[in-house]
Amino acid sequence: MARKKYSLAVPSFDELLVPVVRALIKLGGSGSVEEINNLVYEIANISEAVLQVPHGESDTRKEVDYRLAWSRTYLKKFGLLENSSRGIWALLNADIDVSNLDNSEIVRFVREKSTIEKFGKVSPEKSIEVNQAKKEIEEEVEDTEEWKTRLLNILYQITPSAFERLSQRILRESGFSQVEVTGKVGDGGIDGKGIVRVSGLLSFHVIFQCKRYKGSVSPSQIRDFRGAMQGRADKGLVITTGTFTREAIKEATRDGAPPIDLIDGELLCDKLKELKLGVSTKLTETVEVKSDWFDNL
């Protein structure tokens, strides 16, 4: 896939290795991809303009997030991180000394390790194999998120009303009751409402808004939505196939203002997968023959 070249300087994946570790340390040793990425943005002082650079012309991911996926993969192969099936990444050693980490050493080790696993002992003549190992690691990261890109591209094609109905179904499947789509012109961007109950004792009235596009939701849009929900609900929810700017995220949780929860495109994909709405998973069996076992017969 041909990629458009950008003048904005996006940090390389190896430049993000140490910031990822620093972010996990600050998070107490573990965190979700969203928590890690948001903290890395601050640690690496990445501007909003750079954060909005897309990975490719037809790709829904941002280039920074794509490179951060590389960084996590390399750190895992280096033996510093592990990740669970629930998408939580964690440090294997809570007492890690960041000052001893060397980006180039991590990259060299991982690529040589991958080469050894596939081709045997590394030699100067095996530079082709080393490059092949690099390519395979890149493809591993690509495959991890490819389904989300395909899913979001499908969501971009459905009608706005269909996306509202999908949001309604997601909320119902997630335990909301009395979910209605009420989108009307001049209704301040409110697309629907529902009630969520906690432990069967407490209930909260929620108003939601659906934004089906590739762009980023701005803080002004969050403020406008909050203004529309004043006096009409306990909480607000914005669901988008796009992303939220850092300022929009801060505005959604601003002290003293009614809270607004945010679901971006990536979280939306995860939720559809979890609820098995238009997404199914298949388990693949891997058979390994252990030749050394037969040596003990």
Interval 269-294: pLDDT, tens: 999 999 999 998 887 777 888 777 77
Residues 142 and 164 in one domain: no
Is the pLDDT reported for residue 91 higher than 70? yes
Q: Is residue 96 part of a domain?
A: yes
Q: What is the mean pLDDT of residues 118-136?
A: 52
* Residues 102, 33: Cα–Cα separation, whole Å: 23
Residues 143 and 238 in one domain: no
Comparing 116 with 222, the larger pLDDT belongs to: 222
In this prediction, residue 225 carries a pLDDT of 93
In this prediction, residue 148 carries a pLDDT of 87
* Residues 87, 30: Cα–Cα separation, whole Å: 11
In this prediction, residue 2 carries a pLDDT of 46
Q: Could you tell me the CATH number of the domain that includes residue 186?
A: 3.40.1350.10
Q: Is residue 8 part of a domain?
A: no
Q: Is residue 119 part of a domain?
A: yes
* Residues 183, 209: Cα–Cα separation, whole Å: 9
Residues 267 and 164 in one domain: yes
In this prediction, residue 117 carries a pLDDT of 63
In this prediction, residue 3 carries a pLDDT of 47
Q: What is the mean pLDDT of residues 194-216?
A: 87
* Residues 224, 215: Cα–Cα separation, whole Å: 17
Nearest alpha carbon to residue 62 among 8, 108, 101, 15: 8
Of the residues 94, 120, 155, which one is the last residue of a structural domain? 155
Q: What is the mean pLDDT of residues 40-66?
A: 85
Of the residues 155, 180, 208, which one is the last residue of a structural domain? 155
The DSSP letter of residue 3 is -
In this prediction, residue 135 carries a pLDDT of 54
Is the pLDDT reported for residue 128 higher than 90? no
The share of the chain scoring above pLDDT 90, in percent, equals 45
Of the residues 136, 155, 174, which one is the last residue of a structural domain? 155
Nearest alpha carbon to residue 206 among 217, 215, 195: 195
Q: What are phi and psi of 210, to 5 degrees?
A: -115, 130
Residues 106 and 166 in one domain: no
Q: Is residue 77 part of a domain?
A: yes
Q: Is residue 236 part of a domain?
A: yes
Which of 23-37, 121-135, 241-255, 259-273 has the lowest average pLDDT? 121-135
Q: Residue 143's pLDDT band (boundaries 50, 70, 90)?
A: low
Do strands 235-240 and 192-198 pair parallel, antiparallel, or not at all (unpaired)?
unpaired
- Reading the block at residue 287, the tokens are 């058979």
Residues 165 and 150 in one domain: no
Q: Is residue 28 part of a domain?
A: yes
Each residue's pLDDT tens digit, 213-266: 888 899 999 999 999 888 888 899 999 999 898 899 999 989 988 889 999 998
In this prediction, residue 256 carries a pLDDT of 86
Residues 164 and 148 in one domain: no
Q: Is residue 3 part of a domain?
A: no
Is the pLDDT reported for residue 43 higher than 90? yes
Residues 124 and 165 in one domain: no
Q: Which residues are within 8 A (CB) of 263 and not within 5 positions of it... i.e. 6 or more apart? A: 237, 238, 239, 240, 271
The domain containing residue 33 runs over which residues? 14-155
Q: For the chain, what is the domain count?
A: 2
In this prediction, residue 186 carries a pLDDT of 52
Mean pLDDT of the chain: 83
Residues 140 and 172 in one domain: no
Is the pLDDT reported for residue 52 higher than 90? no
Residues 62 and 191 in one domain: no
Residues 150 and 20 in one domain: yes
Is the pLDDT reported for residue 123 higher than 60? no
Are the C-beta atoms of residues 64 and 46 closer than 8 Å to each other? yes
Residues 42 and 132 in one domain: yes
Q: Is residue 21 part of a domain?
A: yes
What string of DSSP letters covers 121-189?
A: S--GGGHHHHHHHHHHHHHHHHHHHHHHHHHHHHHHHS-HHHHHHHHHHHHHHTTEEEEEE---TTSTT
Residues 140 and 165 in one domain: no
Which of 69-73, 206-210, 255-259, 283-287 has the lowest average pLDDT? 283-287
Q: Residue 145's pLDDT band (boundaries 50, 70, 90)?
A: low
Q: Residue 140's pLDDT band (boundaries 50, 70, 90)?
A: low
Comparing 286 with 120, the larger pLDDT belongs to: 286
* Strands of the chain, DSSP E: 30-32, 81-83, 88-91, 176-181, 192-198, 202-211, 216-217, 235-240, 243-244, 260-263
In this prediction, residue 207 carries a pLDDT of 93
